[in-house]
Chains A and B, each alone.
Chain A
């Protein structure tokens, strides 16, 4: 089992909890880093390493308040890597959480869902 990845949320980068030992895979908060590559490349590398030795089931949670245009591509890349795991026979589920009245955020989830072809579950938070 690979080591967990924990990144605390800041005012412009999301909180990351990727912990195979506790089956906790979550991205929360806000994402509008100055340089999305600098922030997300290590995150994507972790997903690559995890892909080589996954848990029997991966429940991935996105609980975002806001993300900007340069965060779309890294989120899509994470989802595409998860989609590949599913194609390889792994059990992967996505829970997309959005604030109660923020239907733009729900629509963003639906757009990703359509592109990566993994069924998403949706939930709201306050």
Chain B
């Protein structure tokens, strides 16, 4: 129990030192997104921000979380890992923290290792665009897309890049045979600044 208390205290101190406003680990769905937005908007600090800043934070929250809802991989632990019980899991993590003059929103989830080359190419392409290129690419994708329904036709990542104050960051780490852990973060300026 003593060890547990120390761990919790250390974890609490870490959250404080990184100015983490909200941290969630577990399954993702639309209900969770609504709850996260309600919690975020009701925080005193965020209510004092300009409409454009709140909307940009909302853009990154909604696009990143809906992305996890739609594309995160479900995997099963092996029988030996869970002593014979097969439990479907869809792990994901989400956090918002306050940095110097910015809010940082981050997500992490599993992706099929076979899909990461395509994903990396798209992330790299959008990440290297300046604002004019992002506007032009957004219009081009919007005009040409036939996609509908649960998918944002690749516009989500472009929208995130347009509202971010610096390049978004991403990383892939080996998780198990067939899956990688994909982490993504984007920052929104409290002054309304974006990339040029």
**Nearest-Cβ distance from residue B157 to partner chain A, whole angstroms:** 8
- Out of A11, A36, A72, name the residue touching B149 (CB < 8 Å): A36
Which listed residue (B37, B139, B150, B163) contacts A34, Cβ 8 A?
B150
Task: Give CA–CA (A72, B142) in the complex, Å.
Answer: 7
Contacts of A69 in B (CB 8 A): 63, 152-153, 155-156, 158-159
Which residues of chain A are near B34, meaning CB under 8 Å?
11-12
Secondary structure class of chain B's binding surface, majority of residues: helix
Q: Mark A30-54, 1 if CB is under 8 A from B, else 0.
A: 0010111110000000000000000
**Complex contacts, B163 vs chain A, CB 8 Å:** 104
| Among candidates B66, B142, B145, residue contacting A111 with C-beta atoms closer than 8 Å | B142
The one of B55, B63, B139, B159 that contacts A65, using a Cβ cutoff of 8 Å: B55
User: Smallest distance from the beta carbon of A62 to chain B beta carbons, Å?
Assistant: 15
Provided the pairs A11-B34, A11-B38, A72-B155 are in contact, do residues A104 and B63 lie with their beta carbons within 8 angstroms? no
Give every chain B residue within 8 A of A72 (Cβ-Cβ). 142, 152-153, 155
Determine whether the beta carbon of B142 is less than 8 Å from that of A68. Answer: no
Given A73-B142, A101-B51, A115-B143, is A37 in contact with B149 using a C-beta cutoff of 8 Å?
Answer: yes
B179 CB-CB contact with A under 8 Å: no
Evaluate contact between B139 and A100: CB separation under 8 angstroms: no
B150 near A66 with CB under 8 A, answer no
Given A73-B142, A76-B142, A111-B139, A102 and B63 contact (CB-CB distance below 8 Å): no
With A12-B30, A32-B62 already in contact, the answer to whether A70 and B52 are too (CB < 8 A) is no
Q: How far is the CA of A72 from the CA of B145 in the complex (A)?
A: 10
The B-contacting residues of A in range 90-104, CB under 8 angstroms, are: 99-104
| Residue B21 is within 8 A (CB to CB) of chain A in the complex | no
CA of A65 to CA of B148 in the docked complex: distance in angstroms? Answer: 22
Shortest distance from the beta carbon of B48 to any chain A beta carbon, whole Å = 13
| Neighbouring A residues of B127 by C-beta, 8 Å | none
| A105 contacts partner chain B, Cβ-Cβ < 8 Å | yes
**B58 touches A (CB below 8 Å):** yes
B29, chain A: closest CB distance, angstroms: 8
CB distance from B117 to the nearest CB of A (A): 23
Query: Which residues of B (24-71) have their CB < 8 Å from a CB of A?
Result: 30, 33-34, 37-38, 50-52, 55-56, 58-59, 62-63, 66, 69
A residues less than 8 Å from B159 (CB atoms): 68-69
Task: Give residues of chain A (72-116) contacting chain B, Cβ–Cβ below 8 Å.
Answer: 72-74, 76, 99-105, 111, 114-115
Say yes or no for B138: interface residue by CB 8 A criterion: yes
Is the Cβ of A70 less than 8 Å from the Cβ of B153? yes
Can you list 18 residue pairs at the A/B interface with Cβ under 8 Å? A11-B38, A34-B66, A36-B148, A38-B149, A66-B58, A66-B59, A69-B156, A70-B155, A72-B152, A73-B142, A73-B153, A99-B55, A100-B51, A101-B50, A101-B52, A103-B52, A111-B139, A111-B142
Chain A contacts to B: CB under 8 angstroms: 11-12, 32, 34-38, 65-66, 68-70, 72-74, 76, 99-105, 111, 114-115
